[in-house]
Each structure stands twice: as C-alpha cells, then as structure tokens.
C-alpha cells in the first residue's frame, strides 16, 4: 500500500494535473516521466521537457513516438536552470528526477546549485495549488551533498506561500530516493 517514492510522486501528479494543463519535466532522462505527464495533460495540454544530454532527449523522443504522444511536447537541450527562457506561462506541476541518467554516464549528474536555481524559477511560474515533485537520490555513487543542500534550501521556503512535505523510506537498504513535494498555497 505504501508503494515507493515513484508511485507516491505519480499519485500526487495524478491528483493535481488535469487535461489541458501545462507542466514541466525538468529532467527528461529516458522519458518515462515526460510520457506520464503527457498522458495526464492530454491532447490539449503542454509538456515542456529539459535535459542537458542529447541521448536523454533522443530516448525521450523515441519513447513518446512509440506511444503516439509527441504532440504538444516541447523538448529543449539545456539545463533546467534556464527553464524561464523557454516557459513563460503558468504551470500546474514540475517534476525533477535528480542524479544521473539511468544507464547513462554516472559522472554527469544534476548539481545542487543549478537544481536550486531551477526550483526557484519553477516556483515563480507555479499556479497556486500546483506542485513540484523532486526525487532526490543519495548514497551510493550519488553521495549526500545534493540531498543535504536541497533539504537546507527547502526547509527555508516561506511557509506562508509553500508547504514542503518530505517522504523518506527509512528502513530500506541502498538508500531509496527521498521524495520532496512542494505545494504552492492557494
């Protein structure tokens, strides 16, 4: 019943996103989240996707094509810290899946400095009632630095404007990812 960080994130996104909404996948990776977001926003909705690796956007495009879900998906090869250059409209949800590309080069990872800039920009265009889901990988070859910096940042978010809820599976081996969900108050 409790599931895992991914199933919890998907449940929140499903609750919040309605057909026709505009949303962002801040870390396309292999496209699984992009596809899920596209399915939730439907034909009329828009998904903006970002990644700094060519291979990630190629994999994402391929997956969307396979599933017939390419329409109204806008992929950009750049850091999510520049998302404000490409998305000017209000968004209902933003998804961050931090760390390295699954099955990719483990030396290319998200960094707390740019992740925090990206979250900051995402919060500005987030619709009240909208959410940002941040999957934080830690331990193993991800280390703890990004997790610790992010948590410090999230703890300081204005409680009058935002609610931050952390989900942490604490008795598992191999450091399962921590899920942070930020809601903009209405």
Contacts with its own copies, residue ranges (CB under 8 A): 1-2, 12, 15-16, 129, 131, 151, 154-159, 162-173, 181, 183
Enumerate the H helices of 17-104 as residue ranges: 32-41, 54-66
Nearer to its own copies, 124 or 168 (CB): 168
**Radius of gyration over every alpha carbon of the chain, rounded to an integer in angstroms:** 15
Give min distance, CB of 172 to its own copies, in A.
5
**Token couple for 45:** 């909705």
Give min distance, CB of 164 to its own copies, in A.
4
Give min distance, CB of 61 to its own copies, in A.
32
Give min distance, CB of 44 to its own copies, in A.
22
Determine whether 100 is exposed, middle or buried from the number of CB atoms within 10 Å of its CB (0-12, 13-18, 19+).
middle
Sign of the torsion formed by the C-alpha atoms of 121, 15, 95 and 28: negative
Nearer to its own copies, 92 or 121 (CB): 92
Nearer to its own copies, 79 or 133 (CB): 133
Q: How far is CA 149 from CA 44, 70, 140, in A?
A: 37, 35, 17
Give min distance, CB of 183 to its own copies, in A.
5
Nearer to its own copies, 107 or 171 (CB): 171
Nearer to its own copies, 68 or 156 (CB): 156
Residue position matching structure tokens 């209405």: 186
- Contacting residues for 77 by C-beta, under 8 A, at least 6 apart: 51, 52, 54, 57
């Amino acid at each position: 019943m409790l599931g895992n960080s991914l199933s919890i994130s998907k449940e929140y996104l499903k609750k919040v996103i309605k057909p026709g909404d505009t949303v962002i996948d801040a870390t396309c990776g292999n496209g699984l989240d992009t596809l899920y977001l596209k399915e939730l926003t439907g034909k009329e909705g828009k998904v903006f996707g970002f990644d700094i690796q060519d291979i990630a956007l190629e994999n994402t495009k391929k997956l969307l094509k396979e599933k017939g879900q390419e329409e109204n998906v806008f992929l950009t090869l750049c850091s999510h810290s520049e998302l404000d250059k490409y998305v000017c409209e209000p968004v209902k949800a933003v998804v961050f899946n931090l760390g390295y590309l699954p099955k990719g080069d483990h030396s290319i990872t998200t960094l707390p400095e740019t992740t925090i800039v990206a979250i900051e920009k995402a919060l500005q265009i987030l619709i009240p009632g909208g959410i940002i889901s941040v999957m934080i990988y830690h331990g193993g070859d991800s280390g703890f630095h990004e997790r610790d910096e992010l948590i410090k940042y999230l703890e300081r978010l204005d409680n009058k404007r935002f609610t931050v809820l952390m989900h942490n599976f604490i008795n598992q081996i191999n450091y399962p990812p921590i899920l942070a969900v930020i809601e903009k108050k209405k």
